[in-house]
Amino acid sequence: MSRIGKKPVSLPQGVTATVNGQTVTAKGPKGELKFVVNDEVLVKIEGSEIAVQPRDQTKTARSKWGMSRTQIVNILQGVKDGFEKKLEITGVGYRAALQGKNLQLALGFSHDVVYETPAGITITVPKPTEITVTGIDKQQVGQVAAEIREYRGPEPYKGKGVRYAGEKIVRKEGKKK
């Protein structure tokens, strides 16, 4: 039994949800998101709650039960509040700047890296060493943050590179004479 899947999802204030077949649609102040639930999981709206249940007791149905509930919670939270990931840049001469809607990164290469912002994502640069990625889709926000971090991930000797805010880098000892 899925402990997460058993709990019904309560609708937040200001968010409306509809279930049409296997598609769950949520509308809120930030926008609208859809999630198509797997056929092995049954979704019903009961009052101001969304109930998720497996259609049968097979292992695959039970494994998709909790994941479906979590995805529904994520779309409800996304249309109400949105999601945010913060990145920090460490290193001499490493900095970020917005160039229109694109993010321009100076990461020690012979050229600047230009990252095109996808639709539905907002990137802000409060300081030259901080990047904030916001949007309503949790998966897309995480993917964009991971792609930016991938250009120059934090290295273990000096800690230079792009890292998530609050991320601990395990440092290695350098060469000895």
Q: What is the pLDDT of residues 57-68, one digit of tens each?
A: 888 888 899 899
What does the alpha-carbon distance between residue 117 and residue 101 come to, in Å, rounded to a whole number?
6
Query: What CATH number belongs to 83-164?
Result: 3.90.930.12
Query: What CATH number belongs to 3-80?
Result: 3.90.930.12
What is the predicted pLDDT for the residue at 1?
Answer: 59
What is the predicted pLDDT for the residue at 2?
Answer: 63
What is the predicted pLDDT for the residue at 47?
Answer: 85
Average pLDDT, the chain: 92
Q: Does this chain's domain 3-80 share its CATH topology with 83-164?
A: yes
What is the predicted pLDDT for the residue at 61?
Answer: 87
Map out the domains of the chain as residue ranges: 3-80, 83-164
Whether the CB-CB separation of 39 and 91 falls below 8 Å is answered with no
Specify burial of residue 56 (Cβ count, 10 A radius: 0-12, 13-18, 19+). Answer: exposed
What is the predicted pLDDT for the residue at 63?
Answer: 87
H helix or E strand, kind and range, residue 97:
strand 95-99
Nearest CA to 74 among 162, 141, 156? 141
Spell out, as residue ranges, where the chain has pLDDT lower than 70.
Answer: 1-2
Residue 108 vs residues 50, 160, 167: alpha-carbon distances, Å: 49, 10, 21
Name the region of 71 (left: φ>0; alpha: ψ -120 to 50; beta: rest).
alpha
